[in-house]
Amino acid sequence: MSENDQEKEVPFYPDHVALEAKVALGVVILVVIIGVIGLFAPVGLGAPADAMDTPLHVKPEWYFLALYQLLRYIPKTIGATSPVLAVVLLLIWPFLDRKPDTSKKTTKIRFWLSFAAVLVIIALTIWGEVS
C-alpha cells in the first residue's frame, strides 16, 4: 500500500463503533419522544367493530367481487360453501373421471360449460363493481 491509501483509511474501532452508537442513541431518543407524545396525547379508539353491520360503501378487492355479489343474492350458507365445494370438485375431478375422452360431444359440452362459468364470473365481478 502506498502512503496515500493508508491516510484515507478509517479504523473500524473506535470511529465506526462511535458512529453506530450515535445512530442507535438517536433512534432511541426518537422512540422515547414518540412514546411520551402518545402517553400524554393518545389518539383514542373509535366505536367497537360490529361484524354484523357492514357499511354500504365497503367493497372487497376486485378478485373477490364475484363472490361478494353472489352472497348478495343467495343465502349466506350456500354462498359461503358453494365456491369451496366447487374448488374441491375441480381438484378431485381427474380422480373421479378415469375413462379416456373419445367423444367430441363431451369436449364441446365441457368447453361451453367452462365458457359459461367464466362469463358468469366476469359478469358478477363487473356487477359487483358497479353496484
Q: Is residue 48 situated within a structural domain?
A: no
Q: Are 76 and 111 contained in the same domain?
A: yes
Structure confidence at residue 4 (pLDDT): 66
Structure confidence at residue 42 (pLDDT): 86
Give which of 41, 68, 88, 39 is closest to 131, Cα–Cα: 68
Q: Is residue 100 situated within a structural domain?
A: yes
Per-residue pLDDT tens listing for the chain (131 residues): 566 666 788 888 999 999 999 999 999 999 999 999 999 998 878 888 787 787 777 888 999 999 989 888 888 889 889 999 999 999 998 898 888 878 899 889 989 999 999 999 999 999 999 98
Structure confidence at residue 127 (pLDDT): 92
Q: Are 77 and 122 contained in the same domain?
A: yes
Range of the domain at 76: 62-130
Q: Are 68 and 122 contained in the same domain?
A: yes
Q: Are 22 and 72 contained in the same domain?
A: no
Structure confidence at residue 27 (pLDDT): 98
Structure confidence at residue 59 (pLDDT): 85
Structure confidence at residue 48 (pLDDT): 81
Domain count, the chain: 2
Q: Are 122 and 84 contained in the same domain?
A: yes
Q: Are 32 and 74 contained in the same domain?
A: no
